[in-house]
Amino acid sequence: MLGADLRPAALARGHEVVAPSSGDFNVTDPSAVARLGSGECGHFDWCLNLAAYTNVDGAETYVREATELNVLAPSYLAAACLALGSRLMHVSTDYVFGGGDSEAYSEDDPIAPIQKYGETKADGERSVMHANSASIIARVSWLYGPSKRCFPVGLVENFKAGKPLRIVDDQFGAPSYTEEVSRMLLDLMEANAEAGIYHVAGSDAVNRFQYAEAVARAYTKATGSVVPEMTPVPSSEFPTPARRPANSVIRTEKVRKYTKPHVPIDEAMDRLVRRLLGAVA
């Protein structure tokens, strides 16, 4: 999802970008990644790792696959970048936090994931920094964009179909638009930011129902249509194989040394919904 916006954003800023598909370059194959480190694939300043196993529920069953993509592959890339003299930026997640705190999490807060997905992402962070301490870990939160099915995209489809919705109101996060996250990541790279962990996420802390309300406002603004009824419900009404943190809001003050903050959620959602409706048209 993120790569669909990051690649054109990087090209627009004058960067040369090589973005192989998983079929062309298997990041879970140590011998393939070793060729990267040897310079066989050319030299580059930055390697941005967007490859990940992101099916939160699926990771409860497919632990090996999640471990290969979220733990082993990042460590291979980190070692290859160290050998080549390049820097690695590895994208991680707010789900490394357990959600038991009522306050937003900073980069220095202890991590305590509560599901296999979060555990593999936390282990991936450790494997990257162990292999190459010059790396950057960029944690994102509740990522959304137009290229794949995500929460706002599904809501817009439901709005058009006129279906009433029941939406969880006891899970909190910081929704992050792929356009904005791409801009912030590129700013970090262009500034050659110090190694370490950065939270690269939205500036608004909302629950799922408030998130949906932002999508509804943008949809009504763009179409003039009234959205179907939305009812807030507790997450207990939607049991899932993997637990979700009650609160995974992450603080973004640290990254602002290098970049402007994410735009407000209503502005970002206006931009997204216009893109979605334009694509449909």
Range 188-204 burial, b when 16+ CB lie within 10 A, else e:
bbeeebeeebbbbbbbb
Mean pLDDT confidence for 110-128: 97
- For helices 208-223 and 151-161, the axis angle rounded to 10 degrees is 50
How does residue 23 score in pLDDT terms, banded at 50, 70 and 90? confident
Residue ranges and CATH numbers for the domains of the chain are: 2-280 (3.40.50.720)
- How far is it, in rounded angstroms, from Cα 210 to Cα 216? 10
Q: For residue 246, is pLDDT > 70?
A: yes
Q: For residue 130, is pLDDT > 80?
A: yes
- Chain segment 155-182, per-residue pLDDT in tens: 999 999 998 999 999 999 999 999 999 9
Radius of gyration of the chain (CA): 19
CA atoms within 13 A on the CB side of 22: 8
- Chain segment 213-236, per-residue pLDDT in tens: 999 999 999 999 999 999 999 999
For residue 172, the model assigns a pLDDT of 97
Active site residues: 117
